[in-house]
Structure 1
Amino acid sequence: MSDALRRQQQLIDKLEEQRRLEEGEWVELIGGRTPESAACIRERARAVRDEHYGRKVYTRGLIELSSYCKNNCYYCGIRRSNNNAVRYRLSDEQVMACCREGYKLGFRTFVLQGGEDLFFSDERLVPLVARIHGAFPDCAITLSMGERSRESYQALFDAGAGRYLLRHETADHLHYRSLHPQEMSPFRRHKCLFTLREIGYQVGSGFMVGSPGQTAEQLARDMDFLHYLQPHMIGIGPFIPHRHTMYAGEQAGSLELTLFMLACLRLAHPKALIPATTALGTIDPKGREQGILSGANVVMPNLSPVEHRKDYDLYDNKISTGEEAAECRFCLQARMARIGYELVVGRGDSLVG
């Protein structure tokens, strides 16, 4: 065994034992990874995930509520300045129809996701959440509707939402500035995440892998931030460029590095819920399966109305039909079975305290 591989294994041992590394150690692990160390950490991640969750893969029904967004994130296809974007908003009745269909298909978690659309004020969103909660009391309601006030988060929690997804995207402030306009603040986003946790939500955060200019040092800061947040859910996926953004010509994040970071996250957060994301399935036909084999344990098929699935266009070639569609849950179930995992119904709550 080479000295480099021996050092990698020492770092993996420490991560599994202590659930964190120092920043320099993260840089060493990520920057010095080899095919052998990647295979080792993925195997360890599978064992840790299986220890806590068994071979169960939880499903969430994704409902993409709105393609309007007030923000102008430089990498995003639904950024407000993209005049080529197709804009839509789902009505309450459309959302309820998605939930009814999802419930029949076996989904017991609904994820309402959208751009930061000012149309969905508390006056509109709180009654909708309460209506879903009243109609499907055995289901978890997850929101991914961006930065809001503490009062808004509290009102939505009181109405029946129990989970909230808000990726921090990058914990390095200079890197954040390269991806977002000056009007947006990483400090505000971090404050929102800790506020959500204080209220009692199961909180999800995460970051992009391979975003323009990203370094191993920046990924180390992401891992350090998540250590302090201790989220219940962690979603990461490869950066994928969009043709109508300033980063259209950039290279997408790699499957290899994304899977390595997934495995790192599983060892650092053994009880977290970690999805094999749509972005993984977009960059590789077997990306979702590879994510599960790297320690992930959640998939999120699309429940949105068929006529709008292509319009929630965050990045180029985003999959939204075929086996990505919620209607093909049994196709996805077969794919998971082929790699030795079971797609299960149920709320699938996080084991993080």
Structure 2
Amino acid sequence: MKDLIDKLYYEHNLSRDELLLLIENRNKGLSDYLFEKARQVRIQYYGHDVYMRGLIEFTNYCKNDCYYCGIRRSNSNADRYRLDKKQILNCCDTGYDLGFRTFVLQGGEDNYYKDEIIADIVSTIKAKYPDCAVTLSIGEKSYESYKMFFDSGADRYLLRHETANYIHYSKLHPSNLSLESRKQCLYNLKEIGYQVGCGFMVGSPYQATDCIVEDLLFIKNLTPHMIGIGPFIPHKDTPFADKTAGTLELTLFLIGIIRLMLPNALIPATTALGTIHPKGRELGILSGANVVMPNLSPTEVREKYLLYDNKICTGDEAAECRICLQNRIESIGYKLVVSRGDCVPI
């Protein structure tokens, strides 16, 4: 199996059958070898730098009813909130003083925020902080909407595809949502000129290894700038409340594979990783990740933005979270840097 990792290291590509073989025959020795190779590639492109993204979760209203998500429309137990422009800018002010040079505006698909409102918020942030990048993560929109946000100054867009397998997608989402539409949005974002991020859940209900391989092949074909993967974690107020969570072990293995497939990708060590294991984010970095996304949202709303149960850092002040994360990253020989953290060219 090490020969497949070596092939991935040198050629950045494996066939469907090779990926399937590698994933299904993984073990600790193979994982350690993969992570060693992933670190070599990651250091080649990004050194020991870890980029910070300041996450601002500005609304937990969502028109969608995805079966895995805690802010799904049908969850009547969710305590809904929206941040206004002033509150969002206050988060940016706090973040800038703490060294953040990327702000990620993330929310449910909330029709309250018309395109003009989003564009105005983006352009105001860019005017106030021209040395910062603005990332949007607000779901599926029309080509014209994406173009408006881009023209207003948005640099990046995160849209996790969740699964690239059509049958699997239908088991995770109601019938009004389609994988075809999701993929088209990603292609539109690339065409417009965004730095694009996609990603999927590891260990989501009904996911087979074939599904994971399909995800990897889709990502390789799309060649996004960012890939965010994290373990599925159930939420008590969803149809998947009693489903088994994804594992740290498989998530880390896939981070390593993705690092070798797309050597210059920006790969976050996600909050979900830190939720399922006390050192999950550190292990993510050591598996090939190079991004962390501390929360800049006001502390009074953080517990309301729960996509899954037991989410970490919901009560920390932004400064506390940033210092804690810096110490954790430095403890494994890496460093948080003050930078936009753009994707480097191959």
Normalized against structure 1, the TM-score is what?
0.96
Match of 1:140 in 2: 133
Task: State, as a whole percentage, how many aligned pairs show the same letter.
Answer: 60
From 250, 260, 280, the equivalent of 1:257 is: 250
Tell me the secondary structure at the aligned position of residue 275 of structure 1. Answer: coil
Give structure 1 stretches of 5+ with no counterpart: 1-7
- Counterpart CA distance in 2 for 1:198 and 1:283 is 36
Match of 1:5 in 2: none
CA contact (8 A) 1:111 1:144 kept: yes
Give structure 2 stretches of 5+ with no counterpart: none
The alpha-carbon deviation at position 321 of structure 1 amounts to 3.5
Shift of the 324–231 alpha-carbon distance from structure 1 to 2, 3 Å rule, reads: farther
Match of 1:277 in 2: 270
CA contact (8 A) 2:95 2:318 kept: no
Shift of the 17–154 alpha-carbon distance from structure 1 to 2, 3 Å rule, reads: same
Match of 1:237 in 2: 230
Match of 2:16 in 1: 23
The alpha-carbon deviation at position 34 of structure 1 amounts to 1.0
Tell me the secondary structure at the aligned position of residue 56 of structure 2. Answer: strand
Tell me the secondary structure at the aligned position of residue 178 of structure 1. Answer: helix
CA contact (8 A) 1:41 1:263 kept: yes
> Counterpart amino acid of 1:48?
V
Would you say 1:65 and 2:58 are equivalent positions?
Answer: yes
Tell me the secondary structure at the aligned position of residue 118 of structure 2. Answer: helix
Match of 1:335 in 2: 328
From 194, 199, 204, the equivalent of 1:201 is: 194
Root-mean-square deviation over aligned CA pairs: 1.1
From 295, 298, 302, the equivalent of 1:302 is: 295
Tell me the secondary structure at the aligned position of residue 219 of structure 2. Answer: helix
CA contact (8 A) 2:302 2:315 kept: no
Would you say 1:291 and 2:284 are equivalent positions?
Answer: yes
The alpha-carbon deviation at position 213 of structure 1 amounts to 1.3
The list of structure 1 runs, each at least 4 consecutive aligned residues, that deviate by more than 3 angstroms after superposition, is 321-327
Tell me the secondary structure at the aligned position of residue 76 of structure 1. Answer: coil
From 87, 90, 110, the equivalent of 1:117 is: 110
CA contact (8 A) 1:231 1:352 kept: no
- Counterpart CA distance in 2 for 1:88 and 1:315 is 17
Shift of the 222–91 alpha-carbon distance from structure 1 to 2, 3 Å rule, reads: same
The alpha-carbon deviation at position 352 of structure 1 amounts to 4.3
Q: How does 1:157-176 map to 2 (within 5 A)?
A: 157-176=150-169
User: What is the aligned residue count?
Assistant: 346
> Counterpart amino acid of 1:90?
L
CA contact (8 A) 1:139 1:347 kept: yes
Normalized against structure 2, the TM-score is what?
0.98
Match of 2:40 in 1: 47
Would you say 1:186 and 2:164 are equivalent positions?
Answer: no
CA contact (8 A) 1:58 1:298 kept: yes
Q: Please list the CA deviations of residues 220-241 of structure 1 after superposition, one character each: whole Å capped at 9, or x if unmatched.
A: 0000000110000000000000
